[in-house]
Structure 1
């Protein structure tokens, strides 16, 4: 499928999470809960002091990294970046399970994978991706990446044990996880809805927020009507003006494909929106 336009901020985050090169380092000691390491550059005959932050020491929960590493021990660590006046920071957890790292590095953005839903939570869905190392759970789908439509809980979209196909967003060696999207494998419904600008449509209110309401316009398509379109009178929220499930007649004023957003206007101007009664 063609790649959708992405928020520049999301792209910047993805770029920062891309796996870095792996270095062989020697543990020098500990600075609080951070691990201080020495890196050698054989070509230049130089050494450098680096830092492994506590949260990058291991995927296991430990009281202190000293429970994991000994002074003089050599370990592999992935470069993260430079902070504190150029000091190199590294991640040991990204190299902790070689089989997991190899599995994750084999993924490419946009690749389609198969898997089985392992658990469904209000914050997202965990997936057993086919081929992952035994005993691990490597896939994760954020709530916005489950479906184009509106859902109150991920359980409305998938259930544990279901076989799914999904597209790879990014594989992160530092978290040991591959972020997936189910909706990326389906066409954005707004593409076919884009010619509805200027049309007057009727649909149920599916969510009320302090600054307006969301109205269902078609399958997996909802639009936003700002509070100012509902009334000319000063009100803090639209709760006393409209109820969820109530049918509302509105005009489609904008379909923004890049932001995946539909803006609505009142029919007849402010305080003139036609509501056709409770559903």
Structure 2
């Protein structure tokens, strides 16, 4: 069961029978007659005068060298998971046993999952890992899947910053919400959709419009290559309602609005048939009577009828009035609007 190896200079050595017997079938097949292999010299002479060689020790030495090269280069390695213990996963680099601590995996077990169940699911899988410690003297080789994932994200981020252009529309996933905006992962790079870029309508928090885990399309507003930051927008994917406001509305028109905010000087109201448009009802336009503050007669969330008294697309301002809803000077416009509404209602009835 010994293997005789020609090591040159008219010398031969042996791989002893104990090592050969402990080899698996795949390893034994590599020791075919005539095949070149790497061996490690264990002893220059045994009791029988033979040079003692080891195939597995040579493979181990090569493995340690390769592991050190991986550590120095920071390159990743595809590790086949062979087993696990209570601390993590067992694998190999070449012929060297390696360990992936549970803390260096992608994340903790989900709620209700035992550590055994969590770790056992990886057995037989291949994980992309990165060498984080090589200690030959202690026979210690530690790998990390978490570090490999981080390196992959960094590569994706660099590539994306090169290929991404302002004006691009890309798909992303909402990963975090802050008071000032939503962070969206667009493939290895997190961009910020500022609160003001989420919707054309006024919102107080990103959670009013989006949720963590949601997949959506975003518009690339700007790219700061030095700081590796990307500004994104959601609202730029829809038409700015101020661009067409004069095509849809006219001064004197009656509209239904919802009160969105109260200030000392008046009330802000959103047009119910165009949520991207918001106007101001000045305190002087709230009532015929003199009032101290808007909350004396109106509250946030109230739905009321108001009249458009000013449209300024350039300044993005819309003046509204409750006081002038019953004003006679808009009688002809009111009658025309009423006729139009009746026509629309009649058409709807006919379609039914």
> TM-score by structure 2 length?
0.43
For 2:49, the equivalent position in structure 1 comes to none
Report the number of matched residues. Answer: 170
Aligned equivalent of 2:198: 146
* Poorly superposed stretches of 4+, deviation over 6 Å: none
SS of the equivalent of 2:294 reads coil
CA RMSD for the aligned pairs? Answer: 3.0
Match of 1:224 among 263, 269, 280: 280
For 1:104, the equivalent position in structure 2 comes to 161
Counterparts of 1:47-86 in structure 2, within 5 Å, are none
**Of 258, 261, 268, which residue of structure 2 is paired with 1:214?**
268
TM-score (normalised: structure 1): 0.53
> Which structure: larger Rg?
2
> Aligned partners of 2:244 and 2:186: how far apart in 1?
32
Contact persistence 1:249–1:267 (CA under 8 A): no
Query: Which residue of structure 2 aligns with residue 176 of structure 1?
Result: 228
Moved more, 255-264 or 116-125: 255-264
Larger mean CA deviation between 103-112 and 178-187 belongs to 103-112
Q: Which has the higher contact order (CA 8 A, sep 6+)?
A: 1
Aligned partners of 2:280, 2:256: CA distance in 1, in Å?
A: 13
Of 110, 113, 122, the match for 2:179? 122
Contact 1:117/1:160 (<8 A) preserved: yes
> Which residue does the alignment assign to 1:72?
none
Unaligned stretches of 5+ residues in structure 2: 1-153, 328-352
Instruction: Please list every run of 5 or more consecutive structure 1 residues that lacks an aligned counterpart in the other structure.
Output: 1-96, 272-279
Contact 2:191 2:229 in 1 (8 A): yes
Which residue in the other structure is 1:159 paired with? Answer: 211
SS of the residue 1:239 aligns to: helix
- The yes-or-no answer on 1:196 pairing with 2:249 is yes
- Tell whether the 8 Å contact from 1:138 to 1:176 is kept in structure 2 after alignment: no
On the 8 A contact 1:215/1:248 being kept in 2, the answer is no
